Amino acid sequence: MMRSLYSAISGLKNHQVKMDVIGNNIANVNTPGYKRSRVSFATELSQTLKGASAPSPAQGGTNAMQVGLGVRIGSIDQIMTQGSSQSTGKATDMMLQGTGFFVLNNNGQQVYTRAGGFGQDSDGTLIDPATGAKVQGYSWGVDDTTPVVWGAASDIRFKLGDVLATDSFFPIPEEVTLDISNTTGLSATFVDSTNSADLIGAENLTIDGMTRVTGTPASGQFSFDPVTGDIQFASDIAPSAANPLTIHFVAPAGSGSNTTTVDITAGNNTAIVDYPPKPGTIVYNDASGTPIPYKLSTSATPGDLEYTVKSVGGKYQITFGTDGDTPPIATVATASISYDFTNKPHTLTDFSIDQSGVITGVYSNGVDSVTHKIAQIAVASFANDAGLQNVGGNFYTTTNNSGMATIGAAGEDGRASIVSNSIEMSNVDLSTEFTDMIVTQRGFQANSRVITVSDTLLEELINLKR
Last residue of a domain, one of 312, 340, 368: 340
Whether pLDDT at 34 is above 60: yes
| Residue 148 and residue 99 share a domain | yes
| Residue 330 and residue 286 share a domain | yes
pLDDT digits (tens, 9 = 90+) for 274-313: 778 888 888 887 766 677 888 999 998 888 889 999 888 7
What pLDDT sits at residue 79?
95
Asked whether residue 368 is assigned to any structural domain, the reply reads yes
In degrees and rounded to multiples of 5, residue 433 shows phi and psi of -65, -40
For 6-50, give the DSSP string.
Answer: HHHHHHHHHHHHHHHHHHHHHHTTTSTT---EEEEEEEPPEEEEE
For 186-253, give the DSSP string.
Answer: TTT-B--SS-GGGGTT-EEEEETT-EE-SSS--TTEEEEETTTTEEEE-TT----SSS-EEEEEEPPT
Asked whether residue 255 is assigned to any structural domain, the reply reads no
| Residue 231 and residue 296 share a domain | no
Three-class SS state of 319: strand
94 within 8 A of 359, measured Cβ to Cβ? no
Question: What domain range is 31 assigned to?
Answer: 2-81+427-463
| Residue 379 and residue 335 share a domain | no
| Residue 433 and residue 419 share a domain | no
| Residue 279 and residue 227 share a domain | no
| Residue 432 and residue 417 share a domain | no
Highest mean pLDDT of the ranges 39-48, 331-340, 388-397? 388-397
**Mean pLDDT to the nearest integer, 209-234:** 85
**Mean pLDDT to the nearest integer, 218-236:** 82
Asked whether residue 203 is assigned to any structural domain, the reply reads yes
| Residue 58 and residue 100 share a domain | no
**Mean pLDDT to the nearest integer, 159-163:** 92
What pLDDT sits at residue 185?
42
Place 328 in a pLDDT band, splitting at 50, 70 and 90.
very low
Last residue of a domain, one of 250, 279, 308: 250
Three-class SS state of 399: coil
| Residue 270 and residue 290 share a domain | yes
Domains in the chain, number: 4
| Residue 419 and residue 435 share a domain | no
Asked whether residue 141 is assigned to any structural domain, the reply reads yes
Query: pTM, whole model, 2 decimals?
Result: 0.74
Whether pLDDT at 177 is above 80: no
Last residue of a domain, one of 313, 340, 367: 340
What pLDDT sits at residue 257?
61
Whether pLDDT at 260 is above 60: yes
Residues ≥6 apart with Cβ < 8 Å to 2:
none
345 within 8 A of 167, measured Cβ to Cβ? yes
| Residue 202 and residue 218 share a domain | yes
| Residue 75 and residue 57 share a domain | yes
What pLDDT sits at residue 288?
62
253 within 8 A of 342, measured Cβ to Cβ? yes
